[in-house]
């Protein structure tokens, strides 16, 4: 993990300008003290100001606004730095949680103090032996992430107000996790229902209650997102992108992508770049 200041001289990758699309295999948390800035995360634009947090998870794509001045503190963390129980408790792989968070004054004070403490521990590499220093960092990081995860879960709950939750919510969670594991090869609602031990009708009710979408729409949205990520961040030929998300035939992939985005894969890639 690393924690330090955001500023005009911040570099992200030695050979990649900040304004290009990045896809990272680690967590990024930015606590802003200036702004506003417009930051793209998974092809949605988020406007963040002082006191806001941006949380980008492994596998997501993002892009810095080229003319904006980012000020604040940035935390980067490899997923394997924390033990599995902490990863589960902090929802590090909850991709359904919002990436932009607006804490109130009390929560912001707690998050700021926790992140400041983490930064002090990170920069103090001499007081403790390395093994103890690493252990202290893990515990201090866990404290910060528990606060952050609580804020993110609360924001997601507020966004879902008005939609029924509860009995079907655990069903949806299992479906969501199964889709995340299998979307590249399995696009069948019936196959997911059978694998999870639910009827198709039960799955439809649970997904609609949690998201307002059909299970098929949820699967298709995840497939499109991954295709967009690959088109934006790699030089893979379009046929290989299609194969990577479950379409061995390039023509079928292009038709599917255009139906869901009103653009061909080639046009999407060209426009983004």
Spatial separation of the C-alpha atoms in residues 73 and 143, rounded to whole Å:
17
CB 2 within 8 A of CB 122: yes
User: pLDDT for 216-244, tens place per residue?
Assistant: 999 999 999 999 999 998 999 999 999 99
Q: Return residue ranges of the chain for CATH 1.10.10.60.
A: 169-272
Q: Two tokens at 94?
A: 């909850």
Tokens 């869901």 sit at which residue?
A: 260
Q: Which of 210, 218, 108, 93 is nearest to 157 (CA)?
A: 210
The domain defined by 2-159 carries CATH number 3.10.20.30:
no
Residues paired with 210 in a beta bridge: none
Residue numbers in the chain where pLDDT is lower than 50: 162, 164-168
Exposed / middle / buried, residue 33 (Cβ in 10 Å: 0-12, 13-18, 19+): middle
Evaluated on CA atoms 125, 131, 135, 141, the torsion sign reads positive
Full 3-state SS string of 154-198: HHHHHHCCCCCCCCCHHHHHHHHHHHHHHCCCCCCHHHHHHHHCC
User: pLDDT for 106-124, tens place per residue?
Assistant: 999 999 999 999 999 999 9
CATH H superfamily, domain 169-272:
Homeodomain-like (1.10.10.60)
Exposed / middle / buried, residue 88 (Cβ in 10 Å: 0-12, 13-18, 19+): exposed
Spatial separation of the C-alpha atoms in residues 33 and 64, rounded to whole Å:
16
pLDDT at 13: 55
Q: Return residue ranges of the chain for CATH 2.60.120.280.
A: 2-159
Q: Two tokens at 16?
A: 């990649």
pLDDT at 14: 53
Spatial separation of the C-alpha atoms in residues 13 and 64, rounded to whole Å:
12
Tokens 């199964």 sit at which residue?
A: 178
Alpha helices per DSSP H over the chain: 84-90, 105-123, 130-159, 169-182, 189-196, 200-211, 215-233, 238-244, 250-261, 265-272
Q: Side-chain half-sphere of 158: how many Cα atoms within 13 Å?
A: 10
Spatial separation of the C-alpha atoms in residues 139 and 89, rounded to whole Å:
13
């Amino acid at each position: 993990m690393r924690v330090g200041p955001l500023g005009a001289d911040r570099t992200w990758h030695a050979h990649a300008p900040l304004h290009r699309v990045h896809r990272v295999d680690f967590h990024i948390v930015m606590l802003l003290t200036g702004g506003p800035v417009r930051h793209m995360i998974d092809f949605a634009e988020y406007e963040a100001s002082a006191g806001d947090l941006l949380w980008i998870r492994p596998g997501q794509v993002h892009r810095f606004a080229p003319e904006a001045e980012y000020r604040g503190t940035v935390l980067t963390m490899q997923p394997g730095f924390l033990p599995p129980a902490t990863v589960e408790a902090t929802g590090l792989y909850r991709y359904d949680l919002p990436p932009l968070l607006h804490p109130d004054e009390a929560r912001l004070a707690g998050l700021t103090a926790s992140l400041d403490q983490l930064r002090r521990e990170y920069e103090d590499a001499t007081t403790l032996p390395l093994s103890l220093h690493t252990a202290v960092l893990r515990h201090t990081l866990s404290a910060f992430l528990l606060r952050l995860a609580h804020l993110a879960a609360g924001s997601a709950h507020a966004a879902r107000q008005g939609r029924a939750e509860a009995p079907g919510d655990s069903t949806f969670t299992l479906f969501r996790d199964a889709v995340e594991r299998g979307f590249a090869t399995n696009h069948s609602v019936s196959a997911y229902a059978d694998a999870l031990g639910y009827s198709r009708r039960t799955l439809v009710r649970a997904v609609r209650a949690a998201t307002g979408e059909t299970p098929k729409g949820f699967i298709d949205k995840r497939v499109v997102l991954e295709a967009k990520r690959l088109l934006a961040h790699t030089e893979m030929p379009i046929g290989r992108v299609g194969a990577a998300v479950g379409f061995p035939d390039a023509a079928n992939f292009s038709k599917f992508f255009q139906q869901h985005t009103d653009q061909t894969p080639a046009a999407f890639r060209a426009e983004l770049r």
